[in-house]
Every structure is written in structure tokens, then in C-alpha cells.
Chains A and B, each alone.
Chain A
């Protein structure tokens, strides 16, 4: 009986994501090609531009694709962690901005500090600010039972408009020309890796993804997060899990990851704060996390996929002259195809294997 019990039944699950990916890629390619052809562009040339834009050379891949993927990894992890705990944090965008503000403030305020202190200080400030940005939603959720979907979205608006006010007012550059801050001190910037624009934020994000995966799988804390997310009632009834504390911890940590994304973006890419610093990373992160099935390791792949798409789309616009709106539409089509294929394949398998 034990022998029989120990036999794993994982085989069918393994094939799933791979097959879904292949089918989705084919479907997305066909859809995008048809759309481009209809609009009068050469799909083949556009495709070549996309591939060469994202993968053309190591230089390009690292400097554009991976740099794009980095904030998506961090915000994707933030969303994945929150969702695993049953916390619907839609506020990664606002938390990212809070982190960016904190990192810039530290970078501008202590220009004389040594790099070994200033850079970690700025990153820590970014994470803490992201975490603090969740306090209003988390407090309202735990104290008054207010749904966090609404409150986190509202906090996004607060963050975005606060940034606008800051860069037009108190934090505006000394010249007072553009609505942006002065660049942060060199000591507050992330070191570059190699000759391109790839910065140290990328390996940090990869390590954090691995760490989060490992914690969720093996640690008692991770188990509590998964239990609360899967059934808050069963977790409460077990008597060993303080569900409020788990929700609070996961929510704060989620905000910290998103805040760090903002700090890394400032310290690794923009060096200054301005409006529209994020092209919606915090929202794309939801697609990244869901596509990854809320698995932190898969978040790396999903974020990489979106990085490729964004890098390739930029090249398509530049080299083939496909207008930006078309590029956005194609991006959206690809995302839809991937999500749909993923769902259909999973459901098909559940239907056959279930019972």
C-alpha cells in the first residue's frame, strides 16, 4: 500500500507549461502576423526586427531585454507573493513609485556618503518605503475588512500624483527646467555588469526569485503563506496559524519587493525621478505573476518573456516603422494568446486526469 502511495503522479503536470508555451507562441505569431499584414506591413520583416531587437547580440539582449525584465521580475515577485497569500495587491505600481522616491531622496540627500553605505541605504529605503505604502491598505483590510483591490489601486493614484508634485516642486532639479530631479550621486548608483547597460539589479532580482521560491517551498513561514492563501478558514481552524499576522507579513514583504523595483530602476537605469518613470511595470507585473502560475522561479521566465516583447517591439517600431499603437496591440495579442493557451491546456489536463 505504501509503495502505491509513494508513486508520484506528476508526469502529466510537467508537460503542461511547455506545451502551453509552444502552442501560445505559435498562435501569437500567427495572430500578430495577420494583424501586421492587414495593416500593410511586412510581417516577416517585423518578426526579424523583433527577434534581432531582443536577441540580436549579447550586448543588446543584456542592455535592453534583461534591463527591461529586471523591474518586472521584482514587481512580478511582489504580486506573486501577495497572491499566494490570498492578498490581492494591485498596488505594485504605487509601491514601486514610493521606492523610487525614497531611493532618489537618499541619493540626493547624502551625496558625500561612501558607496558601500549609500547604495545599500538607498535600496533599503526603497524597500521600506514600498512596504510602508501598503500600510493603509493592510490596516484597512485587517481592521475594517475593506477589500485591498480598491485600496491598493487608489494608493497607486496617490503615489503617481505625489511623484508629479515632487518633481514639479520640492524635488525639482536645481536648474528648474524639466519636471525631474537632479541625478543621484554616483555612489548611489548600481554598478554596471560588462560594457553594456546591464546593472547589478538583475542578478539581485534573480537571487531574490530563487530565495522566495525556496522560502515558500521549504520554510514554515512559506507554508503559512500558502495555507492562508489556499484556505484562510482551514488555516485559522488549525489553531497554529495567526492568519492576520501572515496577511500582514506577506502584504508588507510584497510592498517591499515592489519598492525595491523602484529603487533598482532609479539606481540602475534612470538615476533620477520623473513622471512616468514606470511604463506600468506594476500592472504588467500582475500578468507576469499570473502567467508564472504564482511560482517565483517561473516569474523569471515570464518577466523575461515580457522583456523580450518590449525590447523587440521597440525595435519593430524603429526598424520597420510599425507605429507604437500597433506595437502595443501586438504585445497585448501575444499576452492574450499565452494566457488563453495556458488556461485551455491546464483545463484540458484537469479534465482528463481528474476524478
Chain B
């Protein structure tokens, strides 16, 4: 083995008063999948953006295959063979797959874009990676998983020596993750280097050869796969012991809070996304709905939370329904609004937060403060906008806001997605407390408070089957817009997987 493929030494970077990277070191060899782990805001993404030349570090140096990179400049990094798949999609929806891939390449040279060549090479890549993508398809019409594949293809197209993937598995279903890991293994067999940012330890441990852990901008651990285990990594990431999440006790369900009868809903494209869904939700229970993304979860969540009228059937809903949409807070927060303004989205017409027609911003800041401290949202200041927060902190802000409404019904789509271990454990505990109507419910009640026993009903959509099985009192799967109950005897991943991936029965 020669030198390291990527060598980052003592990298530091400040954003205003926030020290994103203090003393970050990373050394990855050719031919390995190198995992970069850390909590939200630990500096993983910042470090990778430095590597790709998107950010100028305040100190330290970056070497790729022994050559020093200039401190900033995406072109130099790309020329050195560094490619990155970003956490958020960077695709142009109105263009086709091939056109998106061609963006930023030198394909064609002159004025004319040689799209045929792109098509050809994509077809080659498709054979190599076993990845089905239609180069002529418009990106707007693709599922989330397919978009992720396009992002990866886009990076592979440039034949990178070093491929960085920022939390690529968050939006993928189980088989897609397997597929992705297979592609990563075949890449490193060609002596390329894969840098993988992740947050799900068991996933990471399946694929990684070596692991680097960042905590508050510092490298605190760098070891081979054989020398680490999940508890040890969790300890390194958060700096203390974690207690395994207790499986919640089944609770007697209370009165009915919501009822859907033969509900249908249309997707964004106008096609039927949800059909004939009948569901009752009671106080004090968690209804878990598993399924692969894009099977109608979004539309059903909107109908169930009263944000959209059903196209068919009837929805009988309580007064206050909280909704935690997917997309890591992006769907529920206004990027340019600060913490208090984003809090106000849920509370601006609430009696405790207004004086007549005017918003009581002091009260609003008070509630925002409760959310920020209660959910450990790390923000550079009160005037910080949602877009200046890291993905995990946005999600914490959104979850905190929605729980603070003291809802009768809580609808959550992949609420743990993008949260780090500690925050996810905290949220699980909150959900369990909340359904018990216990102290958590009252605390989360924030402005209002509520009598114990008036616990909300909770509907949890998740692509993570283990999460559903762990938390839910009743389990369903959503397949092509149809809700299928999973019997008690079938409460296991295989039992849930059968209707999801089984024979075509729709």
C-alpha cells in the first residue's frame, strides 16, 4: 500500500462564533470504504465540503493521492479526482437524467451538448453498476430513490478516484441500501476510495473498512472495522454511555381521535396515490405504517393531518393535529425565517401568542426558547435562519415545534431520519411518554399544558421497519397507496416485508 488516498491534517473552520471544525484529521487509503461518523453538527459535512473545495478552511491541509490541494476551488478538487454526492439533491427537475449528468462536464466541448455520448456512457455505467435508470426520463418524475441513483451516477460519470457520499442511505429503502453498498464495494475493488458519511451504525459497520469519528469538530477516533463495535462508536460520537431504548409497554388505547373512511388521495402528478384507506386512531396508541418511500405516505399523511382534503371518502379529524413532514424539516420550516418566526408558523394565531391581531413576539421567543433548549437545537443565534442550521438541528426544531402544540393527533413521517443517536433516542422516549399522557406530554404541552390521560394518538410513518416494530402498537404497511394491516403474529421484518415486496396483488 502506498500513501493515503485522502489525507486531511488539522483542518479547522469557524462560521462566525461557531467552531465547526477544530482539529479534524482524516486519512483514507485507496481501496477502502471509509466511514465518517458523528452527531449532527459534529462537522462531517463541513469536513467533506473542505475536501471538495467548496469551503476554504481556516487552517490545516488537504492532500489527495499525495498532492496538496489549494485551500478552495471545486475545479481543483474535481481535477484531483474527488466527487461528491450531496445530502440534498442537486438535480434540475425539469431536465432529463442525461442532461443532469451532462451539467458541469465538458461533454461536447463547443456549443453543442453531445447528449448521445452521455446516453452511451450512462448505458455502460448501468451495465457496470447494475443500476436501472432511463437516461431520457425527466428527473421531476422520478422517485426519491431513483433521484438518489441519478446523483450517484452523476458522480460516477466523472470517474472519481475518491467518492464522497453524504448520508446517502437516508432516503433509500432496504434493498436499495443493499444495492448501493454493492456498488460501493465494486468501486473500492478498483482501488478507488469511498468516503461515506452516515448515522446508522449497523449499516455503516456492514460496509466500512475503516471508521473516523468526529465530535464537535475534532477527530476522536480512527480505527479499522475489526477494532470497533456499535456501542464503542456511539460512545465516541456522543462522549458518554447510551442506554438502549426500552421497548415501550403496550398501553390500553383510549377514545377514538381520528377516523378515515375509504379515503383516496391524488399525488402531485394527479394520479391516485392513496386508495380506499380506512383507519381509526385512538388516544394513547402509536399506529406504525411501514413501507418503501413513494407508496402514498406523503399524501396519506397530508390527509390524515387535515392539510389536504381527501379526493374520496371521509376524514373525521380532531381540532389540533401536528404534522412532521419528511425532508428533514425542509417541508415544514421556512428557510429564510428565524427561530421565532418558524415557531410562529404553528402559534401565530394562538391566544397565548398574540394580543388581538398582533403577534406577541416576546411570548413567541419564549416558546421558541423552550423548543430550542428542550430539543437541544444548536443555532448560532436567535436571528439564525432555518437554512443556517444543520439538517439534524432543523429536524429537531420542527419536531419540537410540532410536539409543543399539544396535539390530539400527531402524524409523523420518518421523524428520526437525519437525527443523531442521542436525538433519536430522545425523540423515541418523547413519543412513548407522549402516548402515555405522562410528564412528557405535559412538558411538550409547553404553552398549554394538558391533563394526563388526554394523550394524543400517534401515526408514525417510517421506511425503517425496525423503528415501526419497536414503537408501534398496531402495524400496517402502505403498498401502492393501499393500507395493509400486519397481524400480531406477523410482527417481524419478514412479516412486514411480505406485502411490501411480495407478489403483485394490487
Contact = CB atoms under 8 A, between A and B. Distances in A.
Given A219-B359, A220-B359, A221-B357, A240 B381 contact: no
A238 B346 contact: yes
Contacts of B334: 227, 230-231, 234-235
B140 interface: no
Nearest to B378: A1
B381 A7 contact: yes
A234 B345 contact: yes
Contact of B332 (A221, A224, A230, A237): A237
B431 interface: no
B383 A239 contact: no
B358 A219 contact: yes
B410 to A, nearest CB: 12
Given A223-B359, A238-B332, A9 B345 contact: no
A227 B337 contact: yes
Given A237-B331, A239-B305, A218 B358 contact: yes
A241 B369 CA distance: 23
A235 B345 CA distance: 7
Contact of B345 (A219, A227, A355): A227
Contacts of B323: 237, 239
Contacts of A9: 16, 380-381, 383
A218 to B, nearest CB: 5
Nearest to B349: A220
A223 B344 contact: yes
A8 B16 CA distance: 12
Given A5-B379, A8-B383, A238 B357 contact: no
Contacts of B357: 219-221
Contacts, number: 85
B423 to A, nearest CB: 17
A241 B342 CA distance: 13
Contacts of A57: none
Contacts of B225: none
B325 interface: yes
Given A220-B349, A239-B307, A230 B336 contact: yes
Interface in B153-169: none
Interface of B is mostly: loop
A117 interface: no
A224 B337 CA distance: 12
A276 B429 CA distance: 69
Nearest to A10: B383
Nearest to A223: B348
A2 interface: yes
B306 interface: yes
A240 B307 contact: no
Contacts of A230: 334-337
Nearest to B332: A237
Contacts of B322: 239
A38 interface: no
A195 interface: no
A8 B340 CA distance: 14
A233 interface: yes
Contact of A223 (B16, B333, B341): B341
Given A2-B369, A234-B331, A239 B382 contact: no
Size band of the interface chain B makes with A: 35 or more
A236 interface: yes
Interface string B300-315: 0000011100000000
A5 B336 CA distance: 17
Contacts of B305: 239
B488 to A, nearest CB: 33
A144 interface: no
Contacts of A218: 358-359, 361
A5 B382 CA distance: 5
B111 interface: no
Find the residue from A4, A223, A224 having the highest chain B CB count within 10 A.
Answer: A223
B503 interface: no
B58 to A, nearest CB: 11
A177 interface: no
Interface string A1-39: 010111111100000000000000000000000000000
B354 interface: yes
Nearest to A353: B16
Interface centre among A2, A6, A9 (most CB of B within 10 A): A9
B416 interface: no
B171 to A, nearest CB: 18
Given A234-B345, A239-B321, A240-B348, A6 B382 contact: yes
B240 to A, nearest CB: 19
Contacts of B388: 355
B16 A355 contact: yes
A106 to B, nearest CB: 30
A101 B274 CA distance: 51
B346 A239 contact: yes
Residue in A226, A231, A234 with the greatest tally of chain B CB atoms within 10 Å: A234
A93 B372 CA distance: 46
A311 to B, nearest CB: 36
A4 B372 CA distance: 13
Interface in A215-256: 218-221, 223-224, 226-227, 230-231, 233-241
Interface in A260-280: none
Contacts of B175: none
B243 interface: no
Interface string B17-45: 10000000000000000000000000000
A122 to B, nearest CB: 29
A240 B349 contact: yes
Nearest to B333: A234
Contacts of A227: 334, 337, 341, 344-345
Given A239-B306, A240-B349, A8 B381 contact: yes
A5 B328 CA distance: 23
A355 B357 CA distance: 36
B307 A4 contact: no
A240 B407 CA distance: 13
A241 B381 CA distance: 27
Interface in B364-411: 369, 372, 379-383, 388
A227 B344 CA distance: 10
A269 to B, nearest CB: 34
A237 B331 CA distance: 7
A5 B381 contact: yes
A234 B330 CA distance: 8
Nearest to A214: B358
Contact of A236 (B17, B307, B347, B348): B307
A353 B14 CA distance: 11
Contacts of B349: 220, 240
A221 B325 CA distance: 24
Contacts of B369: 2
B331 A233 contact: yes
A305 to B, nearest CB: 26
Residue from A6, A226, A355 whose CB has the most chain B CB atoms within 10 Å: A355
A326 B321 CA distance: 62
Given A8-B383, A9-B383, A234 B16 contact: no
Given A5-B379, A227-B344, A237-B325, 7 more contacts: A6-B382, A8-B381, A220-B354, A237-B323, A237-B332, A239-B306, A239-B323
Interface of B: 15-17, 55, 305-307, 321-323, 325, 331-337, 341, 344-349, 354, 357-359, 361, 369, 372, 379-383, 388
> Which 8 A-B residue pairings sit nearest by Cβ, starting from the closest?
A355-B15, A238-B345, A231-B334, A230-B334, A234-B334, A237-B332, A220-B348, A5-B382
12 contacts: A4-B381, A218-B358, A219-B358, A220-B359, A226-B341, A233-B331, A234-B331, A234-B345, A235-B345, A238-B345, A240-B348, A240-B349
